[in-house]
């Protein structure tokens, strides 16, 4: 979608102050481009919305690193004061390397290994979100051995339908995430008897690309009730991690949640508990701030359809193939050309390598540049080298400055990574 920082100037698409065509010429295509100012503003929007309704030191934005874990982006986000939400030892390392303090890092994730937990406990993170009783026992054992106290929260599953794509819903009882909210009190009672465990938090996350406040409210009301029950049973709960999932405007008709309204709802439902609020937004910070620039390879006219084949593919951005996600595609140069109906597809040998079907688009020809929008989140992090296609370059733009933010991958570097044992050769 067109945004404040990704828009047309004199009919030419610009990422902040840079002409998309110039970026494509300089860095090649397909190309991930991110608008730095946009990312900064998105991260600050959370801070501003919550600052209006609660004291400054009572909430922490922990950016969900999984959405985009590039060091440049993490650094930008860290500079807004945010911490991180990580789900693997690798993401933890990335957050630390970008200078995010351990005391601002929450560790979520449904299957943390012994090694990952040991590293996390040693670092004295803000909180480890526990996904099962078995994990609680494991953490207790490791922390005791290390003579540490692990600050934990139980991630509860509130059984709320987030009304999003079923593949990105996490808060229904049939989803693999969290601990059934009905079992929570019993498990907190167990945790209390564990000397190396400080069960000071409750965490919840119900899904991603959520466009309505109502499911959040239902989930937080259940959490509020749990916190009261826990306190009545002698548990000192000081933190509520309200998760992430706020959706972005992928489609023109999408109406994302207003952050002021969201913050007010959080205050209304959880404010009286006087807890520290931790948030884990990912997509809403980086999603709209990124595009994939791609050139048309050829236009294939069949009897039934016209296919516009572009040089970006499902290996670069898998969301359409994986979740039928809609990513609007816009031309880098507005033109008065007649519109045609086409499918916009990638060159990978898979039927699902389709970005858009039956789209009305200004007539395209080989060499034209287009932008796949809303690609900043879950784009490059989910990309692969399928069909021996090197991962697309990534560029950060701020005003009229641009820079490559990941080492270029080449066919040569992909082949060089393979090992052929002597007994095969």
**Is 316 one of the binding residues for ligand LLP (CB under 6 A)?**
no
Which residue do the tokens 């509860």 mark? Answer: 156
User: Smaller CB distance to ligand LLP: residue 108 or 239?
Assistant: 108
> Which residues are CB-neighbours of 198 under 8 A, at least 6 positions away?
149, 150, 151, 152
Which tokens go with 93?
């390392």
Q: How many residues bind ligand LLP (CB under 6 A)?
A: 22
When CB distances to ligand LLP are compared, the closest residue is 282
Q: What is the DSSP string of 112-152?
A: --HHHHHHHHHHT-SEEEE--HHHHHHHHHHHHHHT--EEE
**Is 6 one of the binding residues for ligand LLP (CB under 6 A)?**
no
Q: Please, which of residues 341-400 interact with ligand LLP by CB under 6 A?
A: 377-378
Strand partners, 301: 306
Closest approach of Cβ 149 to ligand LLP, in Å?
A: 23
Sort strands 12-15 and 18-19 into parallel, antiparallel or unpaired: antiparallel
Which of 30, 89, 158, 245 binds ligand LLP (CB under 6 A)? It is 245
User: Smaller CB distance to ligand LLP: residue 323 or 386?
Assistant: 323
Closest approach of Cβ 69 to ligand LLP, in Å?
A: 12
Task: Choose the catalytic residue: 33, 62, 342, 349.
Answer: 349
**Is 156 one of the binding residues for ligand LLP (CB under 6 A)?**
no
Which residue do the tokens 């080492």 mark? Answer: 407
**Is 67 one of the binding residues for ligand LLP (CB under 6 A)?**
yes
**Region near ligand LLP per CB under 6 A, out of 279-287, 307-315, 358-366, 399-407:** 279-287
User: Smaller CB distance to ligand LLP: residue 118 or 209?
Assistant: 209
**Is 208 one of the binding residues for ligand LLP (CB under 6 A)?**
yes
Closest approach of Cβ 261 to ligand LLP, in Å?
A: 17
* CA dihedral of 66, 72, 76, 82, whole degrees rounded to 10: 30
**Is 319 one of the binding residues for ligand LLP (CB under 6 A)?**
yes
Which of 18, 33, 43, 64 binds ligand LLP (CB under 6 A)? It is 64
Closest approach of Cβ 205 to ligand LLP, in Å?
A: 4
**Is 249 one of the binding residues for ligand LLP (CB under 6 A)?**
no
Which tokens go with 80?
């807004």
**Region near ligand LLP per CB under 6 A, out of 72-80, 89-97, 242-250, 344-352:** 242-250
Closest approach of Cβ 210 to ligand LLP, in Å?
A: 7
Q: Please, which of residues 71-110 interact with ligand LLP by CB under 6 A?
A: 85, 108
User: Smaller CB distance to ligand LLP: residue 245 or 331?
Assistant: 245
Whether 220 and 262 have beta carbons less than 8 Å apart is answered as: no
What distance lies between CA 121 and its chain's CA centroid?
24
**Is 283 one of the binding residues for ligand LLP (CB under 6 A)?**
yes
Residue among 416, 294, 283, 399 at smallest CA distance from 347: 294
Report the distance separating Cα 151 and Cα 143, nearest Å. Answer: 10
Q: What is the DSSP string of 200-243?
A: EEEE---BSSB--HHHHHHHHHHHHHHHHHHHHTT----EEE--
Q: Which helix (H) or strand (E) holds 298?
A: strand 290-301
Q: How far is CA 309 from CA 45, 365, 368, in A?
A: 37, 10, 11
Q: What is the DSSP string of 9-45?
A: ETTEEEETTEEHHHHHHHH-SSEEEEEHHHHHHHHHH
Which of 14, 38, 151, 205 binds ligand LLP (CB under 6 A)? It is 205
Closest approach of Cβ 386 to ligand LLP, in Å?
A: 17
Phi and psi dihedrals of 267, rounded to 5? -60, -45
**Is 281 one of the binding residues for ligand LLP (CB under 6 A)?**
yes
**Is 280 one of the binding residues for ligand LLP (CB under 6 A)?**
yes
> Is 349 part of the annotated catalytic residue set?
yes
Q: Which residues bind ligand LLP (CB under 6 A)?
A: 64, 67, 85, 108, 168, 170, 205, 208-209, 243-246, 280-284, 319, 323, 377-378
Report, as residue numbers or ranges, the catalytic residues: 349
């Amino acid at each position: 979608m067109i945004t404040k920082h990704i828009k047309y100037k004199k009919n030419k698409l610009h990422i902040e102050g840079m002409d998309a065509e110039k970026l494509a010429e300089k860095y090649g295509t397909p190309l991930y481009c991110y608008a730095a100012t946009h990312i900064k503003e998105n991260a600050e929007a959370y801070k501003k919305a919550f600052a209006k309704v609660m004291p400054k030191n009572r909430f922490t934005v922990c950016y969900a690193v999984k959405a985009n874990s590039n060091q440049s982006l993490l650094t930008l986000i860290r500079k807004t004061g945010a911490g991180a939400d990580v789900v693997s030892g690798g993401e933890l390392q990335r957050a630390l390397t970008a200078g995010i303090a351990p005391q601002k890092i929450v560790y979520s994730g449904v299957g943390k290994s012994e090694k990952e937990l040991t590293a996390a406990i040693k670092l004295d993170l803000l909180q480890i979100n526990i996904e099962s009783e078995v994990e609680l026992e494991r953490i207790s054992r490791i922390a005791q051995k290390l003579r540490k106290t692990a600050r934990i929260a139980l991630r509860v599953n509130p059984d709320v339908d987030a009304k999003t794509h079923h593949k990105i819903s996490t808060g229904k009882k049939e989803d693999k995430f969290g601990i059934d909210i009905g079992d929570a009190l019993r498990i907190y009672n167990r945790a209390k008897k564990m000397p190396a465990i400080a069960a000071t938090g409750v965490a919840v996350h119900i899904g991603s690309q959520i466009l309505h406040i109502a499911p959040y409210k239902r989930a937080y009301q259940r959490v509020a009730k749990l916190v009261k029950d826990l306190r009545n049973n002698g548990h000192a709960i000081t933190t509520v991690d309200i998760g992430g999932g706020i959706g972005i405007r992928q489609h023109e008709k999408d109406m994302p949640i207003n952050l002021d309204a969201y913050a007010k709802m959080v205050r209304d439902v959880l404010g009286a508990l006087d807890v520290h609020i931790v948030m884990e937004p990912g997509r809403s910070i980086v999603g709209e701030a990124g595009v994939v620039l791609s050139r048309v390879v050829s236009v294939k006219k069949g009897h039934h359809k016209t296919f516009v084949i572009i040089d970006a593919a499902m290996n670069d951005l898998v969301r359409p193939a994986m979740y039928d996600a809609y990513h609007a595609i816009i031309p880098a140069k507005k033109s008065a050309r007649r519109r045609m109906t086409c499918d916009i597809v990638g060159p990978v040998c898979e039927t699902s390598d389709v970005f858009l079907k039956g789209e009305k688009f200004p007539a395209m020809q080989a060499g034209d540049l287009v932008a796949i929008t809303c690609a900043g989140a879950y784009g490059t992090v989910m990309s692969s080298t399928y069909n021996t296609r090197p991962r697309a370059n990534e560029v950060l733009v701020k005003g009229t400055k641009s820079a490559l933010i990941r080492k270029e991958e080449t066919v040569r570097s992909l082949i060089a990574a393979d090992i052929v044992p002597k007994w095969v050769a």
